[in-house]
Structure 1
Amino acid sequence: MVLRDSDPEEIGGYPIEDRLGSGGMGVVYLGRSASGRRLALKVVHGQYADDQEFRIRFRREVAAARQVSGAFTAPVVDADADAPSPWMATVYIPGEDLGTHVRREGPLPLDRLQELAAGLTEALRDIHRVGVVHRDLKPANVMLAEDGPRVIDFGVSRAAEALGADALTQTGRVMGTPPYMSPEQLTTPRDVGPASDVFSLGAVLAYAATGRGPFDSDSPYETATRVVQGTPELDDVPAPLRRFVEWCLDKDPEARPTPDELLALLKGEPIPPRTTGAPAAGEKPSEATGAPAPRRRRRLLLTAAVGGLLLALAGTAAVVRLGGDDGQVASQLPAGWRDWTTKDTLTAAKGEDPSPSGPFTRCAAARAGLICAGDDVKAVRFSLATGKREWGLPVDSVPDDSSSMEGDVIGTAGDRVYVYRNDQSVPEEDSGTTYEKYAIEAVDARTGDVLWTAPTQSGTGAMAPDLTPDTGTAAATKDGVLTIHGALGDSYALLDPRDGDPRWERPLPDGECRLRAAAGEGYLLCAAGRSETRLSRLDPATGRPAWTVTVRGTFNLLGAAGDRLVLADTSGTTHRSVVTVTANGSHTRRTVALDRPQPAAAIPTLSRDTLYFTLSSGSVRAVDPRTGRQRWSRNSTVEFPGQPLASATHVYVASPSGRLAALDGRTGDVAWTRPGRGVSTSWMGDQGARLTLVGDALYVPYGTRSVYTVDVRHP
């Protein structure tokens, strides 16, 4: 490629000779060292230079890449994460990348495929041995050098031992290239380990053998869905390699082989038996080289995953009925209502950038207003009728930008809205360490005045709490706000709605615990690994369990359907049943088998006594939680739908970009749709907005801190 006038003459003292290429992260140049060695210099785009989180990531990536030998990779020679534009220099590998070669020459013959499989497997073995995960193995990152394939571009690699503890993973960013990403990269990126690279290896070899990826589609969203749920297309992969590729592409990370096992398979050597399975019998990777166990964070059971997709179970979409919904009467709308769209851009703290970059986390209706919270905003009120912004509270300022700056709505009670005060990064005297202080606040829904502030937790580094309702740290009940409490988050308390003072505080029991609310009552769920979950109804007067029911497996409380609580299993590979528990009286437990098992990637939501399973492709299935019978299954036409919200006649789902669909509640047929309103800021795997229905006015958060409303009777 030809150098441009804007390209630098040198980088880090290395003269630039040519431009090798560019991508979403940066530009790659050909440079030369003082000794004459040719180098590939990757310079990240300027838009990332001011992002402190990116610089921290980049510094870690460079440190990880330096640990890998150069036998099968491009060794790191030099780097500067603190330069105005961070850069990294690796040894230049002459040759053609696999993607370019296959597009020009077609699929590789069998002998070259076998050489490629062996070379890439050896490369992954060396990479994983030093605790590194590449995370972006794809044809463009495989160089066909004269002495064999080389894996390049560790731009998104991460030290494997930090995957569970790295606070940066809490941003939920998904990094990689969809056709070659593993299911866990798209669904639970915090849990990605070495097995993810093995999955990518299988996809790369399938591409080299056929000229197309095993999950290819015209739509990147459909591709991602096929990676998570679909069966790979491997008919044209030569038979001698098909078993190798199929084993790599197992959906279960624990069932995939290690590089050593793959090399043994290529050599025709016997593979040591495992406790469960083999290539043809479901073998698991060895304990020594498998993915590390996820970090146990305090005593809090963080947001569970069902087959990888996050269960957004807390804070289900709000429904406030002001009128009928039987299709026979005029629309019931807030007084003076009109169709409106609004975007909040004016709530940043003094001295902060007023431009938001993320969506609203949650909204709730209170006293003729819609109260929303999210990126850089603790709470903002819009008129239900006109969308006029009536007041706003920015998140509290912090001395650096390394902490989360995201607000959230916990719940409402009369004139009050309970919100999270964002974390306060405070230097600890004489130690140089910063610690995070968290609190819950009650805000007057009409005026925005803060009525009280109740400190909840604090911590440093990896011990800093993750405070959102979805993680089970707080739940609004009819008696006040239940919250994880104490400096180390080792107790739970009930905050009095009048002044925020704890009515009582009790130590958390053994196991990983979360707080939930259903039908106004408070519950505590504690899991002992994956073996069992204890569900306890909490006495609002004392905090002691009024009763406890034990269920085998890892379960989450979805809500109440009539007089029964509904729990979903979050640990299995397929949804085959739900558990219901009588909320009052005998609190009897009953396991309800689903007449049609649902895929692990389906996200369950309980709304208006019906259990809905949604898939990122837009599929919505309605199930009766009392009988397990599937009432209907339809494609909503909404990609990455959020939690379904049911009224008396319809079910509503929306995408992150604001695309809206109304499904007939009896048949699931699509009654009407509304197009999206803008570009979504969400990553693949994120769900759409939580909806709020007030009478017949539906409020749809979308995009970047934006909301629109629609009359569902006359859309």
Structure 2
Amino acid sequence: MAPQRNTGAGAEAELPEYAGHYRLESCLGSGGMGVVHLARSTSGMKLAVKVVHAEFARDPEFRGRFRQEVGAARRVSGAFTAPVVDADPEADRPWMATLFIPGPTLAQQVKRNGPMAPAQLRRLMAGLAEALRDIHRVGVVHRDLKPSNVLLAEDGPKVIDFGISRPKDSELRTETGKLIGTPPFMAPEQFRRPREVGPAADIFALGSVMVHAATGRGPFDSDSPYVVAYQVVHDEPDLAGVPEELAPLVVRCLAKEPEDRPTPDELMRELRSVAASYDTQVFIPAQRTGETPRPPSRAEEPRRRSGRRLGKRTVLGAGALGLAVIGALVLARSPGGDGGAPQNTAPRTTSAAWSAWEATLASKKNAPQCSYGAGRLLCSQPGVVFALDPADGHLLWRHAVAEAPVSGPPVLSGGLVQPSSGQVGRLEALDPASGKARWQRNMPAYVGLESTGGMLLLTGADGTVTGVDSASGDTRWSHRIPGHKAPYFAAFTGDPLAYATSTLDDGAGTRVTAVDPDTGEVRWDARLEGALKPLGTVGGSVVFMSLDEVYGDAKAVVRYNPDSGTSRRVPLKVPLQQAHGAVRGNLVHLMGTGGSLVTVDLKARKQLWSLETGVVRVSTPVADGRYVYVTTPDGRLLAVDARHGRLVGQTPSRLGSDADRVPAALPRPVIVEDRVYATAPHGTVFAVNGRDPSAW
């Protein structure tokens, strides 16, 4: 979906530049209930942020529905949807951020290229069946599956927009006289008895979606939504143009009675027997191999059929409230935090006898974000900062903070603990021994915060950067950085400089400015080719990911030497979606959404290895020279051999009683000596011996 600038009038022309911590850049789509924006996290990660119209934000019923939408989307794993990474249903303008997933919707694909070929249709049907199985098994009914809510991503179809979905156990029910949905893709029971709609309604919608994909029209078609409603309830579907091998399955999906329709598992079993040529390869867009995919020729496409389509969600009934479709494609905060932040590592020393441990000390609904400093594990959750003894995990102290989104783990700067708690407009620093506040300051609202050395760098909404002494809380300097409207900073362990990056106005390059955090003075400034994201430093050079300007996929690693002004580029064999990474010596470790872990050797100037982890969302990797560590949404810690790319160990999953929850962020592991510390979605902090991951 190509970003489009919002040019609407009225309230939409005055939408805020930020939703929470996320900068809204352009409009992806607009509907009756709100607008979906392409946005950026603090680290530069692409997100899709859905912002509700002001008029509906004042409606208590709509706020209840929006909370339900967020809850329903979070209950699904994210393998077949756009994972939710952050949301605030209680904000003045409620919003939800999801992972931005590049690719057209099914509606766009059919409109541009005509009906799909039979092999593509089989794969589409199998992918949607898998998606519905994933959605239904956590107790959610989508209730508005249609072509514009099916995103054709590289790794298969994704079901988006849970705006009118409903958990089976929800107390919020459709009111009498309010039939909400899109008539050509609604099941008969959605018209006859909307309060009793169950998972079988999504199967009916799947059948209608398949007819649209095969013919360019729906099985029931009219300009009038009332006529369509009559046809859905009483008439037989028009399946002309649906391939013979799929027609019987589509007919079963479109059965008038819910009990006569197949389940997702039955569909997948029958699809495997439809044709021996059935496979599970991705279909749209083509797998990226560095070559531009060739569009199908006219001879390869089935004949197009004319027909009118009802593309808008319609409400039938007096005074009905319709929830308009807004496709949410995204990730808010980068999973695991800012890929440009310093790695949580400490020098390896010889450790004494030590045992693994596990502790749950604060909220059981969020994975703590932790770092190491002053001989302590320093951790944050919404509303609390706490310190643990790294030897046995017992609680040393805890300190209450405002209940606000956690933008990152606490860090030790200037000898004090900086909570990084997301308290916009307020700073405080804590004694690492007791957790008591050493100083507190009210600051102008800021949208970016980076800690480096003994300084805190705050970026204001107007682009002004303020340097605050971490030890005293005193302001050292405050001014704009030349050439940057609203710079985001990255700082790295052992490097005395901080790096501000901004995309050039022509979109073809990146301006990088190295700043002395103590004074705010510019040490060097460069305009580099391509969209770049800083990952770390090595030997006086800065290492970047080079990103695709359209989709944001990582396509290369770039090493820039500011002394000589030269760059060395190492291309990746296959681009990585929504990648984040870390630098350890001459090795760069990149993790992409979809589970691809790649390591690049800067010295040898080549991609060293690639490993498919099989996990859709994984944290930013950290490494100690021997192993690369990442955490997963189900609370596992994975260890991979850093030189050869082999999975050498993993811990058991830690989901607890909230197994249906989707964590908003996946905190990075922390390496201290020969120990590895990680966190799980149900609030656990645990420690394992990093010397022998195979024994986990």
Which residue in 1 is equivalent to 2:345? 319
Q: TM-score, normalised by structure 1?
A: 0.54
Distance (Å, rounded) in 1 between the aligned partners of 2:230 and 2:537: 52
Which residue in 2 is equivalent to 1:643?
A: 620
2:438 maps to a residue whose letter is: L
Alpha carbons of structure 1 residues 532 and 100: separation in structure 2 relative to 1, 3 Å: same
Confirm or deny: 8 A CA contact 1:421 1:438 kept in the other structure.
Answer: no
- Pairwise CA distance, 1:217: 10
Which residue number corresponds to residue 444 of structure 1? 431
* Native 8 Å contact 2:595 2:612 kept in 1: yes
Equivalent position SS for 1:318: coil
Matched, 1:543 2:541: no
The equivalences for 1:224-235 within 5 A come to none
Letter in 2 for 1:364: S
Which residue number corresponds to residue 487 of structure 2? 513
Report the number of matched residues. Answer: 475
Contact 1:577 1:592 in 2 (8 A): yes
How many Å apart are 1:48 and its aligned residue?
6.2
Residue 692 of structure 1: how far off its partner (Å): 0.9
Give the match for residue 612 of structure 1. 589
Q: CA deviation at 1:534?
A: 0.7
Mapped to 2, the partners of 1:640 and 1:344 lie a distance apart of: 25
Report the Cα offset of residue 555 of structure 1: 1.9
Please state if 1:145 is matched with 2:233.
yes
Which runs of structure 2 are paired with 1:104-183 in the superposition (5 Å)?
A: 117-118=217-218, 144-146=232-234
> How far 1:646 sits from its partner (Å)?
1.2
**Equivalent in the alignment of 1:340:** 357
Residues 279-678 of structure 1 mapped to structure 2, 5 A cutoff: 312-323=338-349, 332-333=350-351, 337-345=354-362, 355-360=363-368, 362-377=369-384, 379-396=385-402, 404-406=404-406, 408-409=408-409, 411-413=411-413, 415-423=415-423, 437-458=424-445, 473-485=448-460, 488-508=461-481, 509-518=483-492, 519-528=495-504, 530-572=507-549, 573=551, 574-583=553-562, 585-586=563-564, 588-594=565-571, 596-636=573-613, 640-678=617-655
Q: 1:93 to 1:248 in 2, by over 3 A?
A: farther
- The amino acid across from 2:497 in the alignment is E
Over the matched positions of the two proteins, sequence identity in percent amounts to: 17
Q: Deviations over 1:315-339 (max 9, x none)?
A: 354011241xxxxxxxx33x67432
CA separation of 1:383 and 1:47: change in aligned 2, threshold 3 A: same
In the other structure, the counterpart of 1:267 is 306
> CA offsets, 1:544-571, max 9 Å, x none?
3221111233321111123211111344
Give the secondary structure class of the aligned counterpart of 1:409.
coil
Provide the rounded CA distance (Å) in 1 between the counterparts of 2:171 and 2:685. 37
Higher relative contact order (CA 8 A, sep 6+): 2
Distance change in 2, residues 1:422/1:681 (3 Å): farther
CA distance in 2, matches of 1:414, 1:47: 41
CA contact (8 A) 1:380 1:393 kept: yes
Structure 1 residues 381 and 116: CA distance shift in structure 2, 3 A: same
The answer to whether the 8 Å contact 1:113/1:205 transfers is no
Q: Say which SS state the counterpart of residue 662 (structure 1) adopts.
A: strand
Q: How far 1:657 sits from its partner (Å)?
A: 2.8
1:198-226 deviations in Å (ceiling 9; x for gaps): xxxxxx999849979xxx998xxxx9xxx
Per the alignment, do residues 707 and 544 of structure 1 end up closer, same or farther by CA in structure 2, a change over 3 Å counting?
Answer: same
Question: Are the counterparts in 1 of residues 596 and 610 from structure 2 also a CA contact under 8 Å?
Answer: yes
Q: Deviations over 1:615-634 (max 9, x none)?
A: 44443221113554111222
Partner of residue 114, structure 2:
none
RMSD: 5.6
Is the Cα–Cα contact under 8 Å of residues 566 and 625 in structure 1 kept in the other structure?
no
User: Contact 1:641 / 1:656 at 8 angstroms: preserved in 2?
Assistant: yes
SS in 2 for 1:557: strand
- Deviations 1:426-449 (CA, angstroms, capped at 9, x unpaired): xxxxxxxxxxx5223221111112
Amino acid at match of 1:381: A
Q: Distance in 2 between matches of 1:422 and 1:710?
A: 29
Show CA shifts across 1:74-106 (max 9, x none): xx9xxxxxx995754414614999984997999
Contact 2:208 2:219 in 1 (8 A): no
- Match of 2:191? 93
Q: Which residue of 1 aligns with 2:683?
A: 705
Deviates further, 314-323 or 704-713: 314-323
Alpha carbons 1:369, 1:384 under 8 Å: kept = yes
Residue type matched to 1:383 in 2? Answer: D
Query: Cα 1:650–1:548, aligned 2, differ >3 Å: closer, same or farther?
Result: same
C-alpha contact (below 8 Å) 1:650/1:663 kept by paired residues: yes
Distance 1:316 1:701, change over 3 A: farther
SS in 1 for 2:440: strand
How far did 1:358 drift? 1.6
The aligned amino acid for 2:233 is A
- Distance of 1:310 and 1:95 partners within structure 2: 44
How has the CA–CA distance of structure 1 residues 669 and 441 changed in structure 2, closer, same or farther, with 3 Å as cutoff? same
Cα 1:624–1:516 change in 2 (3 A) is same
Please tell me whether the aligned partners of residues 410 and 475 of structure 1 are also in contact (alpha carbons under 8 angstroms).
no
TM-score (norm 2): 0.56
CA pair 60-341 structure 1, distance change in 2 beyond 3 A: closer
Q: What is the alpha-carbon distance in structure 1 between the residues aligned to residue 614 and residue 214 of structure 2?
A: 42
Which amino acid in the other structure matches residue 357 of structure 1? K
Letter in 1 for 2:488: R
SS at structure 1 position matched to 2:217 = helix
Distance change >3 Å, CA 410–CA 663, structure 1 → 2: same
State the 1:267 CA deviation: 2.3
> 2:634 aligns to what SS in structure 1?
coil
Distance 2:70 2:326 in 1: 33
Q: CA deviation at 1:392?
A: 0.6
State the Cα distance separating 1:412 from its structure 2 match: 1.6
Question: For residues 496 and 681 of structure 1, do their structure 2 counterparts lie closer, same or farther at Cα, with a shift above 3 Å needed?
Answer: farther
Structure 1 CA distance, aligned partners of 2:453 and 2:652? Answer: 37
Distance 1:596 1:628 in 2: 13
